[in-house]
Structure 1
Amino acid sequence: MQRLTISIDDDLAAEFDALVAARGYENRSEAFRDLVRGELALAVVEARPDAPCVATLTFLFDHHERTLSARLLDAQHEHHDLTVSSTHAHLSHDLCLETTILRGPADQVQAFAKSVLAQRGVRQGHVHVMPLL
């Protein structure tokens, strides 16, 4: 293991220490390693769009939006090679939450996720991509 020494201003150090405490890290090093891993993962996806990845696509949608449920299901079937699993939860009479696990080339996974999030009736969502390298 290598030791790195960095210098940061006092305000940034205080904010970082607050993050370390809030997330329950034992020390700054553990938090720093996680931040670096996260940035390196993003760099892999940017540098190699075809990199194999897994992802979670989570979104809220209006259950009563005409044909949305059918369109979402059709999209998953059309991309069965990317869709691993999906979980659906009823949050209220109108609002549903869906989380879909995806696996495949990062560019294809991200394109599929964007197409789902762009559907009329999807209120908000997020895709979290993790390269498998």
Structure 2
Amino acid sequence: MKIVRFGVSIPEDLLKKFDDIIEEKGYANRSEAIRDLIRDFIVRHEWEVGNEEVAGTITIVYNHDEADVVEELLEMQHDYVNNIVSSVHVHMDEHNCLEVIIVKGRASDVKTIAERLISLKGVKHGKLVMSTTGRELV
């Protein structure tokens, strides 16, 4: 892999804040931090385009006593069997559960699945964490 050097002009205050954060996070140098930022930018682009093969997780917290939320979650997961790779279910207390659903597929399809799951009655909180299959990242 060939390494390319390039220059960036930014305000001094912005660079100071950046340096403080990369030190706090334990990066060896600015280059490592900038590479991670560029990779994140590429991953976000994959999701925005909507046609790329992506991967991610949908995390939801729900009250299993609420309406038919458990049955609806199971039914939806069966509806999307080609996109849902796996799920982990955790009992948080006597009423609340946490479920992490690992998904892959076209970005637009995965976003639709997440929106449907998160909007179910009984789901208290939900979040889609977007990642990549890694094929296009260096």
TM-score (normalised: structure 1) = 0.90
Q: 1: distance between equivalents of 2:20 and 2:126?
A: 27
Name the counterpart of 1:30.
32
* Structure 1 residue ranges without an equivalent (≥5): none
Name the counterpart of 1:120.
121
Matches for 1:1-133 after TM superposition, within 5 Å:
1-47=3-49, 49-132=50-133, 133=136
Identity of aligned residues (%): 33
- Aligned-residue Cα RMSD (Å) equals 1.4
| Cα 1:13/1:59, change in 2 over 3 Å | same
User: How far apart are 1:25 and its partner, in Å?
Assistant: 1.3
* Alpha-carbon contact 1:51-1:131 (below 8 Å) kept: no
| Cα 1:18/1:125, change in 2 over 3 Å | farther
Q: 1: distance between equivalents of 2:62 and 2:13?
A: 40
Q: 1: distance between equivalents of 2:20 and 2:66?
A: 42
User: How far apart are 1:131 and its partner, in Å?
Assistant: 3.4
The one-letter amino acid paired with 1:19 is I
TM-score (normalised: structure 2) = 0.87
Q: 1: distance between equivalents of 2:23 and 2:9?
A: 20
* Paired residues, number: 132
What secondary structure does 1:7 align onto?
coil
* Alpha-carbon contact 1:106-1:131 (below 8 Å) kept: no
* Alpha-carbon contact 2:46-2:54 (below 8 Å) kept: no
The one-letter amino acid paired with 2:26 is G
Q: 1: distance between equivalents of 2:5 and 2:119?
A: 45
What secondary structure does 1:112 align onto?
helix
* Alpha-carbon contact 2:48-2:107 (below 8 Å) kept: no
The one-letter amino acid paired with 1:26 is A
